[in-house]
Structure formats: structure tokens, C-alpha cells
A and B are shown apart, each in its own frame.
Chain A
Amino acid sequence: MSAVNLIAVFAENQLGQMGRITQVLADAGVNIRWVTIATNERLGVIKFLVDKCDLAYESLHQKGWTASLVEVLAIEVEDKPGGLHTVADCLARNKINVENSSGFVSNNRAVLLIEVQDVAAARQILTKQTLRLLSQEEILTL
């Protein structure tokens, strides 16, 4: 299964930074499907799920931004009460420590994105469970 990549951008936590980055992506014709921002005082990292990851990386890099790809796991979650709990429970039982996570619902399908230390190991464990992992193509066509 191909991994799901987010594009992460290092930006100082200050006014207007987000706009400067989204401008670059817009100019390059990159569509943003999902965004999450992590900050710690002046440090800021903005992560995007985009349709054209490599193009996004190239365009940002060319404009002088510091970017990196981050591999995440996308887990499909049942869009009903207890859906997220089933996943969280499964992660905990299998001792998968989640560093960052975010989630969204699209067309009645819920997705949880998780960042873990060892993506390959986590993927192996999770595929043995009843949980469904989505590929980059699948998540972009939701």
C-alpha cells in the first residue's frame, strides 16, 4: 500500500505566513484538501494534504520555503458514535504511540490521519486488524 504524504512547511509563527504559502500553492495549481497547523511559540509547521505533492514541494522549494514530506497513515473511521473510539482503542491495544493526529469527514466518510514514529511497523500491525488504511489515491478521491 502506498503511503499518504503530507507536505510540511517550516514557517515562523507570524501574521500572513499562511497566505504567502497558499499563494505559492495556488499559483502552481495545487489543490489543498486538508490543512493542519502546529505551533510552539515562534516555531510553526503547516501541513497540507494536497493533490499534487511533488509539485507542491518543488514550487515551495523554488520560492525559498523550507518544506518536507511527512508520511502519515490514513485510517478510515466509521462515521457514527463510537467510530473514533474503535480506532483509538485498537491503536492503544497495539501500543502504537501517536505523535500527531487530525481527522476530517468527506462525503460521509471519516478519515483519521496519524503520525507515528515507525510508519512501516504501525502499518503492518493495523492492516492485521479490521481497520482499513487508505492510499494516497483513495484519500484524494473521497
Chain B
Amino acid sequence: MTYWDQKTETIERAALEALQLKRLQAIVRRVARKVPFYQRKLADCGVQPRDIRSLADLRRLPFTTNTDLRDTYPTGLLAIPSEDVLRLHTSSGTTGKPKALFFSRRDVDNAAELMARCLVMTGVTHRDVLQNMMTYGLFTGALVMHYGAEKVGCLVIPAGPGNSEKQLLLMQDFRTTVIHVTPSYALYLADFMEKKGVDPRRDLALRKAFVGAESYTEETRRKIEQALGIDVYNSYGLSEMNGPGIAFECEHKCGMHIWEDNFLIEIIDPRTGEPLPDGQTGELVLTALCREAMPLLRYRTRDITSIIPGPCSCGRTHRRLHRMTGRSDDMLIVRGVNIYPQQIERVLMSLPSVGRNYQIVLEGLDEMTINVELAEAGFDGHVEHLTRLQSEIVDRLRAEILTKPKVHLVPPGTLPVSEGKAKRVIDNRSL
């Protein structure tokens, strides 16, 4: 078992909690001094920094929300002088006003440090060649991975997303061993290789993929692993807290260790804001303990997950998060039923005759149609078998999401593919 920072990664829980408290007290003192937004918020809650005497007092602190970040845009949450800011990122995947996220020199370095822990945790070494297919730019995904992999000593190929011909060429010529990619693009690439007659097991040196930036299911992980002949590790991050590298799976792939020396974690009931015990599913709330430029208290991530209780056999003492089951923003309400697209994906990907792409279309007055690509091998020339598969998909979906969708099977490769974040849901409802 190798570690990047063994002392921190295997720290005793009691020592970890003492460290968390010390850091929490420091950060609350700092925002109370430097950030007018938090001065007001703390005053509204009637809390002063000296009231934080134990970790249980975290609950007395106010939440920070998505909206707060937009309202204070661009510099309202900055906790250091603007000349000390080293880097700006903005949030990804949202419409309207962006969220501005600042990094100090120490933040940039610390984000890379956490990323390095994650990489080594999955078995990456300085001998690896990492092809980074995330978007370089305002999005944190690519740069934080880039810096982390460089810290480990990998050869980093800053490929960025898209241009599959070029991606394949780079993989062949430089014997890429690790890719960092979105799940939808990983599946697209697998398809692309198949069309080009490239067998990744025979022709490439790939062994691992870090798949993130979109939530995906266990079934999709297996599909990617099978198609590319590699190990896929789930990862979690959000720009508001550094970007990627906040939580990552270890070699055991049984939940994502979240670096608790850097982040205080809570799971709350998204409706009441009340904390839930370990093991229960709710919204993840994070407090950044080490961020210098822009520390956030009790930030509501809108991501739905649970904490996996108990220790992990890898020896790390930092608790694990379950795979995100959805982003509360992704939830669809169709005919009064709450549906996460991940539920639909789980059903589809469990059927071997179903291919890799699908699309959920909402239109009219709450009509849900799911266009599903057939797997190449799923066609035997009989329309009756297609009809039967279509009804089976409908039945299974109805059992899972409690409403009956229309399902259209379409030939493989006919649905639009995206090379960045997939757009799975098209909402044309005239409500």
C-alpha cells in the first residue's frame, strides 16, 4: 500500500478531529474579520467565533448557498487582498451569472497536493502517462488534475476534450496509461475505437481512467471498464471547494475517501437543513478548512449522497462518500413524481442489448420519452425482438421510476454525442 502523505492519510480519528476543530476555529475567526458577507451572516445567527468550542458547534454556523455565491459575484467572498490572488476559475455547467472562485498561491498548491494523494491512492506513480481530456480554462477540472499529476511526477498530456482522432493518436504514440475523462466521452471514445478497429487491450497501454465531472452509475462504470479494458475510479469534486480531488476512490473502489483534514462533511435533509447520521442519504454540505482566498462555511453542494460508515481496508482513516446519486438540480418532476436521471441510466445500462447512449425528452404536458440506442450486437434482424426489448425497457423503467415513459429504440450511433458534459435531458415542456 502506498500513500502520498501517509501521516495525514492514516491519522487517528481523535487527532484528525482535533486538527479539524483547530482549523475550523481559525477559519471562522478569519472570515469574521475579513469577509463582510460572513460578518452579517454570523451576526444574523447570533454566533461569534469564540462560540465554536467543539465540532458539534458547526451546526450553529450559517449555510452558504449557490445563490450566495452569485449574489456576492465577483469579489464579495474574497478573504485575502486581491493582489494576493493567483488564479480565477468560474463554475461550470450552469446558466446565468457565473460563480467566481479565487485561489491563492497556497490554495493552488494545496489543491495539487490533495490531487496527488488521490492519484497515488489509485496506484498512479511517476512512471504513468496521464492524458487529461477535461476542458482547460475557466473550469477547474483539467488544471487541478494537471498540477496534481505533475506533483506526482507523471508525464501529463494536456489534450483537452474532443477531437477523438487526435486523442487516439496521442494514446498510441505516447503510450498513455491513465486518462481523465467524463463518462459520456469515455463511452464515446470506446465506440470510436471500435469503429477505427482499435482494440484498447491489444493496441494501447491504458490501465486506468479517472471518470468524473458528471454523475454516473455503477453500471456505466462497468461498461467503460469492459469497453476499454481498464480500471475506472470514481471521483468527486466541485469548483467551489478546489475542483477535483476532494474525494476519490482508493484501489478497493468502495466509496470515495474525502480528505477530512481539509473538509468538514455533513449530510443534511435538503428540505429541513437538519443533519442526518452516517449511512443516511441526503445533501452533502462541505466546509473548507484550508482554503485561503475564498473559504466557504457549510456550503450546500446540492449533491445527494451518504457517508459510508466504518473503516476501509486501505488503512486511510478519512471517511468515504457513496457515489453521488444525483444533484438535487438534476431532479426531474414528471407527473408529480421525482425522478433522477441516474435511476433511468441504471435501468438502461443493466440491459446488455442496450447501447451506450440515451436521451430523455420531456415535452407537451409532462410526456416523457426516452430514446435509447441499441447495442451493435443487440440487432439480429427481427423487428419483433426490438419490439419486445422496447416493452421490457418500459416495464423495468416503470418499476424503477413509478411512471410509464415512452421508449424509442434507435440504431446505435444515431443520438447526438457530446464531447464534454453530456446533455441527457431535453426539457421542452410547455408548462
Contacts and interface: CB of A to CB of B under 8 A. Distances in A.
A99 B411 contact: no
Q: Which of A47, A68, A115 has the most CB of B within 10 A?
A: A68
A10 B386 contact: yes
A11 B412 CA distance: 10
A120 B408 CA distance: 33
Contacts of B390: 43
27 contacts: A6-B381, A10-B374, A10-B379, A11-B411, A12-B410, A12-B414, A38-B383, A40-B386, A40-B387, A43-B386, A43-B387, A43-B408, A43-B409, A45-B381, A45-B382, A45-B386, A65-B411, A66-B411, A66-B412, A66-B413, A67-B379, A68-B379, A69-B381, A70-B381, A70-B382, A99-B382, A100-B382
A42 interface: yes
Interface residues of B, number: 18
A66 B380 CA distance: 10
B392 interface: no
Contacts of A12: 410-411, 414
A44 B409 CA distance: 10
B411 A10 contact: yes
Q: Which of B374, B376, B383 has the most CB of A within 10 A?
A: B383
B256 to A, nearest CB: 37
Contacts of B381: 6, 8, 45, 47, 68-70
Nearest to A37: B383
A39 interface: yes
Interface of A: 6, 8, 10-12, 38-40, 42-45, 47, 64-70, 99-100, 115
Nearest to B378: A66
Contacts of B84: none
Contacts of A68: 379-381
Label chain A's interface by main secondary structure. strand
The 3 closest A-B pairs by CB, nearest first: A8-B381, A70-B381, A68-B381
A45 B411 contact: no
B384 interface: yes
Contacts of A40: 383, 386-387
A67 B409 CA distance: 15
Contacts of B414: 12
A74 B408 CA distance: 33
Given A10-B374, A66-B374, A66-B379, A99 B410 contact: no
A66 B383 contact: no
B146 to A, nearest CB: 35
A102 B410 CA distance: 25
B383 A39 contact: yes
A33 B386 CA distance: 25
A43 B393 CA distance: 15
Contacts of B387: 40, 43
Given A64-B413, A66-B374, A99 B384 contact: yes
Contacts of A44: 383
A66 B382 CA distance: 12
Given A45-B381, A45-B382, A70-B381, 20 more contacts: A8-B380, A12-B411, A39-B383, A42-B408, A43-B387, A43-B390, A43-B408, A43-B409, A44-B383, A47-B381, A64-B413, A66-B376, A66-B379, A66-B413, A67-B379, A68-B381, A70-B380, A70-B382, A99-B384, A100-B382
Given A10-B411, A11-B411, A12-B410, A43 B379 contact: no
A42 B371 CA distance: 11
Contacts of A11: 411
Contacts of A100: 382
Interface string B362-384: 00000000000010100111111
Nearest to B390: A43
Interface in B331-390: 374, 376, 379-384, 386-387, 390
Contacts of B374: 10, 66
Contacts of A42: 408
